[in-house]
Amino acid sequence: MIFISNIYFLINFILIKKNLHKKKNLNLYLFFISLVCLLTYASTLHKLNIFRFSTGPIIGIIVLLYLVEFIFPKYKNKILILFVVILGSNSLVPLKQENNRFFPLFSDMKNNYNLKNIKYFNHQKWRNDTWKVINEIDDKSKLISLQCPEISNFLNYTEDAFIYILTKQYLTSQQYLFWYENTKYHKLLAEHFNIDMEILINNINQKKHGIIFFNLKDISYFKKKINFEDFSFISLPYSYQQKRKGLIVPNRCLKKINSKNDF
């Protein structure tokens, strides 16, 4: 309705040259609003979702409401109520869509389950692949703390705070931000703290006294920061939530673990 009403207004304004209002300035303002509305529809063509629509074409609702009042003055209140009812009904659809992405799929509601072995998440219901990653992080952190006493700390160089929560049970960490990525945003944020992540990475590289969780897509970055003659990296299981994560471990610790056939 927004699209059609703005097309209608532009046709009247440009081709028919019919001013819908006595004040020409108002018609000119509405013309620019319609133009912006229709041009921003281009940003929604490749992916329709509520965010793209609400930050662009929604401005055309001004023209829509104006036309309703101009063309249907007697029925404008009833039409506006109808608009509200339609919009309200769209928000109540019990399906996972772009405007309610946190609503679980029906298949997830049926297949997700909870585990009691991790105290922080024993009331959570997750997919099997998510639990697999969570358990892997917990198991590896615990195993490293037991088998490698020289490993005293860790870094969470990912966007996943769960990694920090799980590993903090067994190892210490000097980072202030529980999650961190190699982005401009995180670098600017880190400037407010005394501990520099680059320094922490360098300390682990030199002293070989820690492990680093990271996104596998950043492996090229860490190959410039870490001496992989003394370190190795292993891949964690893939899940839809955590994507591809990895763990950088000193070789001497990895040998101890491998000797137990636990990795």
The answer on pLDDT for 103 being more than 70 is no
The stretch 163-190 carries a mean pLDDT of: 89
The amino acid at residue 91 is S
Chosen domain end from 100, 116, 138: 100
| Number of domains present in the structure of the chain | 2
Is residue 188 assigned to a domain? Answer: yes
The answer on pLDDT for 224 being more than 50 is yes
74 and 144 co-located in one domain: no
94 and 130 co-located in one domain: no
82 and 166 co-located in one domain: no
Could you read off the pLDDT of 28-40 as tens digits, one per residue? 888 889 999 888 8
The band of 171, judged by pLDDT with boundaries at 50, 70 and 90, is very high
What is the C-alpha separation between 139 and 143, in angstroms, rounded? 6
Is residue 200 assigned to a domain? Answer: yes
Chosen domain end from 100, 116, 151: 100
28 and 78 co-located in one domain: yes
Is residue 161 assigned to a domain? Answer: yes
Is residue 111 assigned to a domain? Answer: no
Q: What is the pLDDT at residue 263? A: 45
Chosen domain end from 100, 116, 141: 100
96 and 138 co-located in one domain: no
Could you read off the pLDDT of 40-99 as tens digits, one per residue? 888 777 776 677 777 788 888 888 888 888 877 888 788 888 878 877 776 666 666 655
Q: What is the pLDDT at residue 112? A: 86
81 and 197 co-located in one domain: no
92 and 135 co-located in one domain: no
143 and 188 co-located in one domain: yes
196 and 146 co-located in one domain: yes
15 and 132 co-located in one domain: no
Could you read off the pLDDT of 236-250 as tens digits, one per residue? 999 888 889 999 999
Q: Which domain holds residue 176?
A: 125-259
Is residue 113 assigned to a domain? Answer: no
86 and 133 co-located in one domain: no
Is residue 116 assigned to a domain? Answer: no
Is residue 114 assigned to a domain? Answer: no
Is residue 177 assigned to a domain? Answer: yes
pTM: 0.64
161 and 252 co-located in one domain: yes
